[in-house]
């Protein structure tokens, strides 16, 4: 599947980037903290911010794997 996307030039492999991993994880941690703070007052926003944290963690994984 990934090879098909690479062949179609929809994605490309990049070298792993530890700085981008650290930056994305820092954003994910920040967002989790914010979501926890908002959970008692605004569940909808807390959910949205937690979802963004998952996206940032996923980006960190991609940066780590290249």
Q: Tell whether pTM > 0.85.
A: no
Q: Considering only CA atoms, which of 24, 17, 11, 22 is closest in space to residue 55?
A: 24
Asked whether residue 2 carries a pLDDT value surpassing 90, the answer given is no
Strands of 1-66 (E only): list them.
none
pLDDT score for 63: 96
pLDDT in tens, 13-35: 899 999 999 999 999 999 999 99
> What is the rounded (10 degree) CA torsion for 29, 32, 49, 17?
20
What is the pLDDT of the chain when averaged over all its residues?
96
Asked whether residue 45 carries a pLDDT value surpassing 90, the answer given is yes
């Amino acid at each position: 599947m990934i090879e098909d996307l690479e062949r179609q030039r929809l994605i490309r492999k990049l070298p792993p980037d530890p700085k981008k991993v650290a930056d994305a994880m820092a954003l994910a941690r920040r967002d989790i903290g914010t979501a926890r703070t908002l959970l008692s007052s605004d569940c909808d926003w807390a959910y949205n911010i937690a979802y963004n944290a998952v996206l940032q963690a996923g980006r960190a994984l991609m940066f780590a794997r290249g």
